[in-house]
Amino acid sequence: MSDSIEFLVVGLGNPGEEYEYTPHNLGFLAVDQLAGAHSIRVSRKENEARVGLGSVRGKRIALAKPQTYMNESGRSVKGLLGRYELTPDRLVVVYDELDLPWGSLRIRGEGSAAGHNGMKSVIAHVGTQKFPRVRMGVDRGREGGRGAGYLLSRLKRSERQEMEEMAGRAAAAVETIVAEGVEKSMAMFNRRAQGLQQEEE
């Protein structure tokens, strides 16, 4: 099975119901959306993660939600890359980003962690910054809309609907990366980002 998997898609988050609808768990939510759209059950326990195997637009993929808690996500990701004999360029990481406005979406082919502890862990364990990532903006631009307390706080019901919509767009962006490449996904989704006045470098 390992040699047939073409991509590893990882959503970052924290396990447990208390974190379910927090900004920091948007990565998990995006993986759930992708799994639901393609009838993939993310239930296997592998390398400290919940994993599901399936096909997305003709590509065999592994979907994963590390269960290590955010700051140790890289340990699980490194193990899964080894298990499926994949190089980092076949890894796609989906996560929340405090440096982007709420509701915006940004795809990049590589880059730093920009202060995100989950990504710091992934980069440290994988040993490179050169892998695609889909970032979902969670900065509300208001008091209390930044910092760890905000990232781990449960959102209101109205905000949860916005989370679901953002996660859905992120899942669509991942599909495009897998099927058509990161450049195509960037061209399609980066310019649609809501609340951004100019393109990010």
pLDDT at 174 over 50: yes
**Annotation marks residue 125 as catalytic:** no
Quote the CA–CA distance of 147 and 112 in Å, as a whole number.
19
The Cα 194–Cα 60 span in angstroms is 31
- Residue 169 sits in a domain of what CATH number? 3.40.50.1470
Residue 89: give the domain boundaries. Answer: 2-192
How far apart are alpha carbons 143 and 77 in whole angstroms? 34
Question: Is 29 domain-assigned?
Answer: yes
Higher pLDDT, 195 or 55: 55
Is residue 197 assigned to a domain? no
Question: Quick check: is 31 in a domain?
Answer: yes
Is 50 inside any structural domain?
Answer: yes
The catalytically annotated residue of 24, 38, 116, 125 is: 24
Q: Is the pTM of this model over 0.85?
A: yes
111: region left, alpha or beta (phi > 0 left; psi from -120 to 50 alpha)? left
Q: How many domains does the chain have?
A: 1
- When pLDDT is averaged across residues 42-56 and rounded to a whole number, the result is 97
Q: What is the mean pLDDT of residues 182-188?
A: 95
Q: Is residue 43 part of a domain?
A: yes
